[in-house]
A and B are shown apart, each in its own frame.
Chain A
Amino acid sequence: MNPLSALRRLAVAALFATTALLSAPVLAEQGAYEAPLPAGINTDAELCIHVPCGEVVPGADSFSPRKGKPAYVEAYRSEGGQKTLVGYAFLSTDIVDIPAYSGKPVITLIGMDTKGIITGTKILRHSEPILLLGIPESVLTKFIRQYLGKFVGDKIEIGKAREGEAMIGLDAITGATVTVIAQNQVIMRSGVAIARQVGILKVEPKPAIRFAAVNDKLGWDQLVAEGSVRRLTVRPEQLGMPRADQPYIDMYYGFLNTPSVGRSLLGDDGYNSLMSRLKPTDNAIFIVANGTDSFKGSGFVRGGIYDRVQVAQDMDAYTFRDLDYLNLWGLKAAGAPAYKESAIFIIRDPGFSAAYPWNLVFLANKLDRETGHRDFVSFSDEYWVPARYMEGGRPAVIKPDAPWVKVWKARALEIALFSTLLIVVAIVYAKRDALTRRSTRKNKWPVNAFKYTAWIISIGFVGFGLLAQPSITQVLTWFHSLLFKWEWELFLTDPFIFLFWIFIIVTTFVWGRGLFCGWLCPFGSLSELLYKVGKAIGLGRFQFALPMKWHNRLKWVKYAAFFVLLAVSMFSMGLAEKLAEIEPFKTTYLVGLFNRSWPYTLFAASLLGLSIFMERPFCKYLCPLGGALAMPSTFRWFGLRRKQECSSCKACAVGCGSLAIDEHGRIDHRECMHCLDCMVLYTDEHACPPLAQERKRRLKADLPLTPIGKDGYYMPIKKVIPIKPVPVTKA
């Protein structure tokens, strides 16, 4: 086949894909991706003017203003001139700020009836790259519909329900695990928070704290040092405001019921007076603060709620009304700092127990500099009464596993198998010298047995099984997470991609990109396997490689693709994600060739079809991830071996499928896929021309064939002069 006609096919396929990307139907798929939201959605009291509350609470025809902390609206149905409360609607970002894979939250409107049953969910806005193109947004909509009819107090998790565990399992979205795990947390935490607030879920009382007989009088520094007084500081920059010398709020706080602490802070009279006003189940905390703003809020009115601070314990949040407030007249502890506002707050709920850890939460709005919108954010600090003040010390607290830990535990076997694959491939490659020496130009099985096995496992298990196909979109996502909100937990939630990237980074620095690209990339493996199969079934005569002249021009395209994507992502992550469709990975593995619209399928199928006739066309010329990894490969620590004769001998260059060996016999490690064919030749005494020549010379001269050294030559024969035995003289 004429290489240029193949090139034309490639160009036509690329044109089709580009046209598809820019066509209107594709843009229409965008849905809630980065959808513009009304300016007042986060702050306006009338939430339901801005969002379709009626869709999530069916049957409701009127809604209250935002109320409570965290905020919700009541949904009413009018019947015979009377309004009946039928449920509640709430915005996820009013309650939690859990980022999804993109580093930004999926803003969700949730509806719940008066019994705590979820009646509706609606995604208002998301920034998830996988849902922009690839997985249709309707799949996420279908996912969140699984919550309808479920009780918010139930234990709902992603994955199959396990025997013996009282949990409800939800079907995940293949290829968007991180997104759905984050979304599950968003919906369940929001639901529980509102259900507790409106009294649907009752707080289960915990054992109350029992104080040990400690009656020390401590100074301020001692109280801070032992953790009886803690500090929570929020700087203006953290709220999107200009930097300032003074913090936005700088709070010291502590638990006053602890006799020694209370007496140290309030004095004996103050402590006794406070305790006399508390019921046995009441708990008191103090806050003193400095800063440019107030923790009480300037808009506080009698009978209202202090909406800037709350105490959280497990899933419960305790807010304070004016009746829960007492004046703090002063701090008696020696060395206590000056402050501009203060308060004593009483937690009256018996569900709270100071024996267990709790958090002081400061609630605020963060200004988005780009849009001018204000988003809800919270800052918290954990407090736990020091062990010496409790009888028997602190109780054992079993914290539930983080979502990523659950994923790692649930997929432990697959993770172990995948890790084993990575380690074995790295060890095999590290020992490549032993394998290439056992191989010859005519029999490369000692190398190929390992490499082909790696390909097949990579395609079947890693690609189609685990969907662990590394992609340039992950690099762009990391970059943006670095800019906005880096959450290790999010990346750990996809263990296979996480482990794969550790492997890629390490091996690229040690050996270059070739080990990943040539041995383990699921798409690269599929591409080259097709080429090998094509050869095996007799299509070899149609197979071709581009002339070096064209190869040397076209190989730069992948670098250009990488730089374009990186540059575009600075301005628009959405557009960069669309352009990243130059990678056929989503179509091949994540979504499936037959589950996407025809331009994507045609593009991926064309590349795979071309791969039968040309070795790795995508990897060589288009792959932006390959381009990104090729750049650090310039500085790989260990390269492949060469001997001086390679500069004039073309034997390796002719057989190099990657076209990585130039006319001077030099290997370009940015292009090399580590097939090891040249290394097999390097020690093949019948195929490597300088070695074969030396072999013939030695045989002719009746000289022994010594082992081949690391330099690729027979070890030199040195004449050994026999040592004459020295006569031993007896004394």
Chain B
Amino acid sequence: MIDPRSMTEPMQPPYASGGTVTRLAAELWDHLWPWSRSGFQRQRAIQAAGLALAVAASLAWVFAALGQLAPAAIIGWWFGWSVFEIAVRMGSKPYVKEGPWWGSRYRRAGLMDMICYVGFKNLLIGAVMFIGLKSAGLLVL
């Protein structure tokens, strides 16, 4: 029977039953690491390409920090990676949190849920990186 309290069916990531600190630490790792062993088993090509693209996007940030990449290019890279991250996560970690960030309810992610999650998360990461590099004088416009 469908639970009307959750927009999609409830789902439990492997760490859901752990203590609060363990769970939040695992969530933090989840935000930064979109791959999983099960994801690799099911969609090797996408996951491997995602890993390669993530390395390239990380290098793009390093180049930006070294002043070797224009801001428009780094924004382009970050956007491109974000699109791919959605595909990777849908295969490897297809869940999102339901309710407050300190809670422990999760549900299966629809495509729009994942777009919202990855889009918002990467916007925050991008903004922090951008402001950080600008404040340090490493990125100039």
Contacts and interface: CB of A to CB of B under 8 A. Distances in A.
- The residue in B4, B97, B100, B131 that gathers the most chain A C-beta atoms within 10 A of its C-beta is B4
A235 B137 contact: yes
A667 B4 CA distance: 8
Contact of B100 (A631, A637, A643): A637
A243 interface: yes
Interface stretch (B19-27, B87-95, B113-121): B113-121
Interface string B5-25: 111000000000000000000
Contacts, number: 78
Interface string A637-670: 1110111101100000000000000001111111
A296 B117 CA distance: 54
B81 to A, nearest CB: 16
A642 B120 contact: no
B105 to A, nearest CB: 11
Interface string A228-257: 000000010110101100000000000000
24 contacts: A237-B138, A237-B139, A240-B140, A243-B67, A482-B127, A482-B130, A482-B131, A483-B71, A630-B116, A631-B116, A631-B120, A634-B112, A634-B116, A635-B97, A635-B101, A637-B99, A642-B4, A643-B4, A644-B1, A644-B3, A647-B4, A666-B5, A668-B7, A669-B7
A412 B132 CA distance: 35
A647 B137 contact: no
A238 B138 CA distance: 10
- The residue in A369, A634, A637, A668 that gathers the most chain B C-beta atoms within 10 A of its C-beta is A634
Contacts of B101: 635, 637
Interface of B: 1-7, 66-67, 70-72, 75, 96-97, 99-101, 112-113, 115-117, 119-120, 127, 130-131, 137-141
Contact of A646 (B4, B7, B96, B130): B4
Interface in A554-577: 559, 570
A594 interface: no
A666 B67 CA distance: 49
- The residue in B96, B100, B131 that gathers the most chain A C-beta atoms within 10 A of its C-beta is B100
Nearest to B121: A635
A638 B67 contact: no
Contacts of A634: 96, 112-113, 116-117
Q: Interface majority SS on A: helix, strand, loop or mixed?
A: loop
A570 B72 contact: yes
Given A237-B67, A243-B66, 7 more contacts: A238-B140, A369-B141, A631-B120, A635-B116, A635-B120, A647-B1, A670-B112
Contact of A635 (B70, B115, B117): B117
Nearest to A483: B141
Nearest to A244: B67
Given A235-B137, A638-B99, A666 B7 contact: yes
A235 B140 CA distance: 10
A570 B117 CA distance: 22
Nearest to A233: B137
A32 B42 CA distance: 57
Contacts of B71: 483
Contact of B99 (A243, A632, A639, A664): A639
Contacts of B97: 635
B120 A632 contact: yes
Closest 10 CB pairs of A and B: A243-B67, A237-B140, A665-B4, A637-B100, A646-B4, A634-B116, A642-B4, A631-B116, A664-B2, A647-B4
